[in-house]
Structure 1
């Protein structure tokens, strides 16, 4: 074809060392939540899946499941056979002494492994979250930044008199940071605190705002905001590319509104300084073999580092045109027209290599995407005889493989102890469903970023095949799986006493069903004043659907008890009784406190109440199984908590 050149094609589909982006078999692992305390029960469901056409469908079979601790030790294992829906559920009761850290659920299904990570942490669940916004959006050095922080309880009420501390850091280089501002304030009755920060003069780079907040409980919640500080009203973007055997940087420079700029700028390649001309926001500058390039336009600087070989820019030497009707789908036919200054080889395919086409400078070829194509991208790679490579990528559109289901509730808000009814839409009643209802505070400890769509059908960023003269090794991230759920939750009952309903049931997971049929469900709202997240996954041969909805459980009049997170026998401490009044009424509140397993000096009686009342609660001589019950009544409103 071209002298003595040897071209080596590698598609490691059946290689012992290669793991496909879309393996033949998968296991979908669903847990009721992403983080657990030592001593809590881990609830899970596993659904075995097999490829059929361009998607995964449930299948029956036998598999092994293991839970491994942070040190790789197996703490739970089982060999199982799925039911008729292709599912299996498990429970694992942790001990109080179990090691904290990251754990992994591993499933081996016909020699193909799937996994899902979760965390065990001895946490205290937060009852509020931080919201923050900065002005202006485009930040200049030496100028004022206004940071507005708002604290909200998880049922949406503002957190007044909460302490907010702000620490601001600048980064002088990769290793050195400098704290240039710190302050502490208390939130107003709307839960807001406002900070004014002036950035250092002539500073350019990233700025970190670290926000720490706590309420009467002393539990600290943290939020971090990263901002970029500019020296001038200029935005510099760029990428490295290679043309005709030389390396360049392609610059795009605009104002903050995206309008292109023009003028002269400077560029440094180590100690070598060059000028460039910017026209309509664009410039291409020769950078030799420099790995670090500094660009200056007006007073703005930007440093670019080259970690990889730059991509080949499509220039006059090669062009490709795709002739098609509408989007590309599995089974679509289309025509490619390629023209090149040099002969070469064009390789095309999605998940697998479909065709190898010899190109004598020009070629016109009709191609067809496989009916069972799994990938969401179609790759075309051209390698010329002089060693140049060019790659084109086109999206493949599949019929919905992971759909959305709708969750509706009979009310927007509920009170503790009420029955919550919710319904599912866009899903068949006979489809197997996994349902969990989890306190939003759990996700503030560790957010669940798991996506079924990304897990089963990840985007192929790079093709599985290569044209090369040496062995190609494709590294993929460890497979993480998903679904989460278990068996129906059994409630302990809250008590109705002579002084009213006593709130004393505060679970992290309020409801869990691992293999439910039908579309109508209900459960009793726990006693936590919070927002609950309903997670639903439906799995059947017709496809997979998922949905999520948040619901509030709240009260306009609420009593809270704040104590230390742990105590020892004979301990003494000062906690707090806090009354939150969102009724709009004022007057006297009656407070009674009962202590079992300790002594208290708290005086039961009436106290003046406006919006928030905070009273010290002194307890001494703590004994085993300390129990504190606080009753509060105000006009026609009552609340009690144990």
Structure 2
């Protein structure tokens, strides 16, 4: 009887144990890129109910900030939509519901509620610029980037209290005076919310303090200098005629030096302290006490220097190699009297550093080992270069003699992938979209003699075509429609070279690239003074909204263009 009951209980429980489905996606869905979804990996049928929440978003947020529990059952809701997730659907199932608002989403199976999530679907967003004096907010539509006018803005503190309310103007902007912990934006039942994460309030004054070097020896003189500035209303000014004391302590915290200073008209002070000839080695601490303002700390190191009694030299049979060659490193360890260091333990590490490593695979260790010098103080290390490699091979050698004194040395050699030199006529190319452009490439051997043959050209790792090289000249015609950055790679033999193509709405001048925008300022001006006019030109390959700002210690300029 017990066995039958156990089997029946397991059969009843089994469907529940097998269920696996939940609501997926961000709790704030920003249209048009985000979406609501249901994830499932079983063969059950589910129903997703989407209820419109009619309660005030502001009141729900304020309760949450006050740590008051918001129960879903207490929300005032009405059914907005429902969707069936079928038995044969697996993985993430996108739900095509994109009506802005606040919703309670409930996922049900034949056994009951499986998941419940409160979701905000919105086409609103905003940018915030905060300085010590005010807060600038720009509200925009996430679908087209256009400003949202007459949107309500609430500045809320950490306790849920509304500090300030305002409405955006026709350019989607508003300037407010309170610095909040939370910001809520609302327009026609659509919401955008953020919590502001701010640094702990900075001290009203700053100290810039340096010593003339980080490491000293006993008997050296430590020279130090400091500058104190204060910040008032977003403006930094020197802290004049301020009393400052400087204390220096040794590694055992014994006080060695104590002197009082007064800052000059530029907020500066300076002094020096001579270490004794028997000063203990270790970390020395400097304590700077700005009377009534704050205390700061600095440190320096004292070490007893002993010159190594031997040195390492590294030789190779040549300075440049072709991939596939063998580099024969000859390492010699000898005393300064030119006598060999016999039986010294030597560790060596060989690294490959490819040309253009900032977009390639980067530096990597290709060989390492440990050996002992022979009767002449020598050790030979042969290393074969990887086929097709272009860049540098470097060896780092560390030697330890019988007295455990350690020295090290490094040497690097140039490696060419082939007896081929590929050179573009420019380091990068700026071309307009849709305009045919010719790129000239020169291909020679390493001695500069023109080559002939076939080159393969890749565009973003896809073969763009094969071209004939005649008398060292290669011409590649490109027409690129999309605004983007492209990599053009030319391969000839085992050699390869890459150049970058930037497709923008082209012009000449000093500029900053912002994806598909170009921003120009006065070409001949590198410095501006109060009252000067700065001319800024914004060029885009298509009509699009943008927000132009000039920021410093405060927000100086903010304009929708």
TM-score higher than 0.5:
no
TM-score, with length taken from structure 2? 0.39
TM-score (norm 1): 0.35
